[in-house]
């Protein structure tokens, strides 16, 4: 019987927040027993590398959970990448999620790793035994002309060395399943986890779906229209929505689910209470 993976994402506290707040987040997520927790990364500054590595080390050493460190490509030099990989070695990460990263209008890209696949290839050469994760877009990358073009680019990323994929957010499971079919038809046979971001705030949903060019299905639109000005009720509805998404995905035999916690352990725990039994190991 197939047992899907279950993983989580956290991010380093804002620089204006006490670093210890990450413990509040991790304490709240610990008993969900994820297969791994991924730790996000900023735009490429040294402080970003240090924060990601420290939190990854904490997850591995103090909580006994595998940690995956994000690494974004656009603003990295080869020296920066080597420095980050050395930090991640010390943190004993179980893998690296190689991303292109968002564009920062105030900075010029380094011009070394133009695409995530370039960084994947570099990591594979420098760390041949390290597990490399990659991102994928069920509704296509915003800069891709078509989904087929994006899937072809994704195949190139996998061929370069990515051995596990995690999807960007989506709010209609049919979109993910259709993408999955195209990916498999293109010869992409690595595990592909479905990325689920719970709805907790109407503005953040609008912002994230706009940034990712992700569709807001009518079912979700009705929720935002009815409870957009009532955060507490919208949060409750969002927990139900995410739980139903996950249940449907597991029923369709997906490889796994990656929950974007947004450092809100209470929401993640409520979802886990609803769906945790679906991930019990046989």
Q: Which residues are catalytic?
A: 9
With b for 16 or more beta-carbon neighbours within 10 A and e for fewer, the 63-100 pattern comes to bebbbbbbbbbbbbeeebbebbbebbeebebbbbbbbb
154 CB-near residues (< 8 Å, 6+ apart): 134, 136, 165, 183, 186, 188
DSSP SS3 for 15: coil
DSSP for 209-268, written as a single string? HHHHT----HHHHHHHHHHTT-HHHHHHHHHHHHHHHHHHHHHTT-SEEEEE-TT-HHHH
Distance CA 3, CA 255 (A): 8
Question: In angstroms, how far is the first alpha carbon of the chain from the final one?
Answer: 7
Give the DSSP letter string of 37-97. EEE---SS-HHHHHHHHHHHHHHHHHH---EEEEEE-TT--HHHHHHHHHHHHHHT-SEEE
Please tell me the distance from the alpha carbon of residue 172 to that of residue 216, in angstroms, as a whole number: 8
Whether 193 contacts 166, CB under 8 Å: yes
């Amino acid at each position: 019987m197939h047992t899907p993976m279950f993983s989580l994402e956290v991010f380093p506290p804002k620089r204006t927040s006490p670093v210890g707040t990450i413990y509040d987040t991790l304490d709240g997520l610990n008993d969900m027993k994820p297969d791994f927790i991924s730790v996000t990364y900023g735009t490429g500054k040294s402080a970003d590398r240090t924060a990601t590595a420290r939190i990854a080390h904490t997850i591995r050493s103090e909580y006994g959970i595998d940690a995956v460190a994000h690494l974004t490509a656009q603003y990295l030099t080869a020296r920066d990448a080597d420095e980050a990989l050395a930090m991640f070695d010390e943190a004993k990460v179980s893998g690296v999620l190689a991303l292109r990263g968002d564009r920062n209008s105030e900075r010029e890209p380094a011009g070394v790793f133009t695409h995530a696949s370039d960084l994947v290839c570099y990591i594979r050469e420098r760390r041949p035994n390290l597990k490399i994760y990659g991102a994928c877009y069920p509704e296509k990358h915003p800069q891709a002309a078509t989904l087929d073009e994006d899937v072809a680019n994704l195949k190139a990323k996998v061929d370069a060395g990515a051995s596990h994929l995690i999807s960007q957010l989506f709010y209609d499971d049919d979109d993910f399943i259709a993408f999955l079919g195209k990916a498999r038809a293109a010869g992409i046979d690595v595990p592909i986890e479905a990325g689920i971001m719970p709805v907790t705030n109407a503005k953040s949903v609008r912002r994230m779906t706009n940034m990712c060019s992700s569709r807001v299905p009518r079912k979700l639109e009705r929720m935002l229209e009815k409870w957009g000005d009532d955060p507490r009720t919208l949060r409750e509805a969002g927990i139900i929505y995410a739980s139903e998404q996950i249940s449907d995905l597991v029923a369709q035999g997906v490889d796994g689910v990656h929950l974007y916690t947004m450092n809100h352990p209470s929401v993640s725990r409520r979802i886990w209470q609803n769906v945790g039994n679906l991930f019990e190991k046989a």
